[in-house]
Structure 1
């Protein structure tokens, strides 16, 4: 795919969730947003306000509910157990961010700050990646175990491999995110120079389609403000088509 003017609709049309993943969780849905024409930038006053709002939302929820009892977090802990992961050791991205909200969410860059804020506010796991670094379309599969995952360990780049049967997002070059929504790889990571991005919002049954689409709409609104020629395409992947 050309990095200068990607065909966003064609890219999303080839995205897939494997049947064996739906066998684990027939209620799973993935909302994909492909975006091009972004003017990259550092964290700013606008993203600071979004993160502050998300932190306040999380603190309000956690004042009345233990983090592991928040409905969508609890559902994701069950989903992790279904493919053999231990949620107390490898937390889904929503749980990890929600736990950090009390002391402050990370400030990374404009795009990462936006999607982290939307994730916590809407209580949905959400990842963002550099679309120009993709090799082929995104697919959610159960790993064979030999796939490459480019990550960092103790500050040093390393090449890892997922466990057999682990649920992973991948493209033709290897794994882009391990354990469904636990850890994203280095190769497709967003950077301060990213101008085209793929955002993935993960939902299980306790989150309705309406709530999922509302999170996607807010994400698109905020990202769309960062560029005079931003283009956005969207696709919802689900078991029933």
Structure 2
């Protein structure tokens, strides 16, 4: 399988020097999801024990450290926060509320809850350039078509880190909101998943989430790449699993 060109550009590390991004490329995602028993891979309420044992989720170090990232981007964390916090908030309100009913989305969101790590998934057949860059937003050139929201709700400011396909934003503010132009669908054949980390604790969670997804998808005969880590030392990636 041909791996896409993915890179974290240097200006991101000037603001987030400890950033690590973990990636997994999957061929045959649509077929695997058709055959998966989604309930068997979903998290169980016990996976929420850490979140249920605190009052505000901001008391959890793995969440509070993400909130610092959003403050650094000039965003109010009570309004804009990591995707994993959004999922955990819904699950705390009612266990089934985190589920969308879409297997191709609930599959990776389940691992996000289980491992307390943000995960985003994108359709590589829609990335015609074959290249994705993690960089700071360019307000003069970038455009964003948010999934399930209005563009004006997502300010285009230079302090915000994005996943970009040329000048299209595939995901805004690390993992806060995906673009409807690159999101996964039930017919996505080739998917790529990302999980970001800015602390040692977050990195362990991201690696666990990507590894568990890889194991489950491989068992359904999807063709999975090794887990690739992108960091300041390896901005164009290094294999961390065989």
TM over 0.5: yes
1:22 is aligned to: 13
1:37 maps to which of 21, 25, 28: 28
1:115 maps to which of 98, 101, 108: 108
Distance 1:63 1:38, change over 3 A: closer
2:42 is equivalent to residue 47 of structure 1: no
1:101 maps to which of 86, 91, 100: 91
Aligned partners of 1:26 and 1:239 also within 8 Å: yes
1:166 Cα deviation after fit: 1.4
CA distance in 1, matches of 2:213, 2:161: 25
Aligned partners of 2:196 and 2:203 also within 8 Å: no
CA distance in 1, matches of 2:63, 2:125: 31
| RMSD over aligned Cα atoms | 2.6
2:72 maps to which of 82, 93, 98: 82
Which moves more between the two structures, 31-40 or 204-213?
A: 204-213
Residues 224-239 of structure 1 aligned to structure 2 (within 5 Å): 224-226=218-220, 228=221, 230-239=223-232
1:70 Cα deviation after fit: 1.4
2:233 is aligned to: 240
2:142 is equivalent to residue 147 of structure 1: yes
Q: Which runs of 5+ in 2 are unaligned?
A: 235-242
Report the TM-score, using the length of structure 2 for normalisation: 0.83
Output one character per residue of 1:54-110: Cα deviation in whole Å (capped at 9) or x when no partner. x4312x112322311211211111011112111111121010001111212213433
CA distance in 2, matches of 1:46, 1:187: 28
Q: Which runs of 5+ in 1 are unaligned?
A: 1-5
Report the TM-score, using the length of structure 1 for normalisation: 0.84
1:198 is aligned to: 192
CA distance in 2, matches of 1:160, 1:62: 27
CA distance in 2, matches of 1:99, 1:163: 26
Aligned partners of 1:98 and 1:120 also within 8 Å: yes
1:217 Cα deviation after fit: 1.1
1:214 Cα deviation after fit: 2.4
1:67 is aligned to: 57
The residue matched to 1:128 in structure 2 has which SS?
Answer: strand
Q: How many residues align?
A: 228
Which moves more between the two structures, 187-196 or 144-153?
A: 144-153
CA distance in 2, matches of 1:175, 1:212: 22
